[in-house]
Amino acid sequence: MTGKLVKYEFRSIMKIMGIVWAALPVMALIAGFFEIHTFSDSGFEQTPYVADVVSIVSIFLFGGIFMAMIAVTLLVILLRFYKGLLRDEGYLMHALPVKTWQLITAKGVVAVCVTLISIAAAFLSILLLTAFEGSFASFGRFAADLFRMYVKEPADILITVEILVLTVVWITVSIYKTYAAMAIGQLAKRHRILLSVAAYMGIDAAGMIILSVIGDVLSLDIFSPIINLIFGWVNHFDIIGALQTGLIVLIIIGVIQVAVFHIISEQILRKKLNLE
């Protein structure tokens, strides 16, 4: 059933995001084409006036669509959760024969995928914008150098994978933290958005306090042998091994945060849901 919820979410979001994702690379290609043919070494004044205008307009349009994609991505992620589970549409969603955690999971999975697709679309559009200046050839050389590095140092493949996983995990952390804040905000009868913002800030503040407390506790003499043991263990690794260990620790911390925020959201929506 969770898979069906994910499909439903994607279909709803694609009505908006699909247009933006398609328009951005097309406009990037158009802007890149007119830019390289207008502002060339042959001289700006030698270019027909119409071409100048088209070039400037196309660049502005590309910038506008690029910024719109960022804004729409954020709005879609927020509104699909807020309107889908916390407003009138929530009556229908919570009446489905599924558990609350499945509803939240479906929203989260789609939100992460939408964010990653938007990042990929932004990267592709930048390549297309400079395609006529040889960006694809440069990227091809970079990919070839990267492949040779992986052949020479296979351990770098694992580091790259860990960095990618860490990126996805921390994107998920940001999304689920926002969900938890909105779940807390819906407890209010009025000014829910304001309380959600305050809850988000409170969660950040609580995280900083927890880290500070953990740091103070670990600085106590009683933990000195354990800390020295850990640093001694890490020092046995080379730079690659230490980096891999650090990335794994960050991934674990991120996964724990996702689980905590998911539980907070699920418990509030299951026990304290207020759709009025």
Question: For the chain, which residues make up each domain, given as ranges?
Answer: 1-147, 153-276
Q: How far apart are CA 72 and CA 200, in angstroms?
A: 20
147 burial (CB, 10 Å; 0-12 / 13-18 / 19+) is exposed
Say yes or no to pLDDT of 255 above 90. Answer: yes
Instruction: Tell me which DSSP letter residue 175 carries.
Output: H
46 — pLDDT class (breaks 50, 70, 90) = very low
Contact between 76 and 13 under an 8 Å Cβ cutoff? The reply is yes
Q: How far apart are CA 188 and CA 183, in angstroms?
A: 10
Collapsing DSSP states into helix, strand and coil, what is residue 98? coil
Backbone CA torsion sign across 60, 65, 67, 71: positive
Torsion from C-alpha of 233, 260, 109, 267, nearest 10 degrees: 160
The pLDDT of residue 109: 93
**Reported pTM:** 0.80
40 — pLDDT class (breaks 50, 70, 90) = very low
Mean pLDDT of 193-218: 82
Mean pLDDT of 34-38: 61
| Number of residues that make up the chain | 276
Q: How far apart are CA 11 and CA 185, in angstroms?
A: 27
Say yes or no to pLDDT of 74 above 80. Answer: yes
Say yes or no to pLDDT of 76 above 60. Answer: yes
Taking only the tens place, the pLDDT of each residue in 125-169 is 888 877 666 555 666 676 777 667 777 767 677 888 888 999 999
Q: How far apart are CA 157 and CA 211, in angstroms?
A: 31
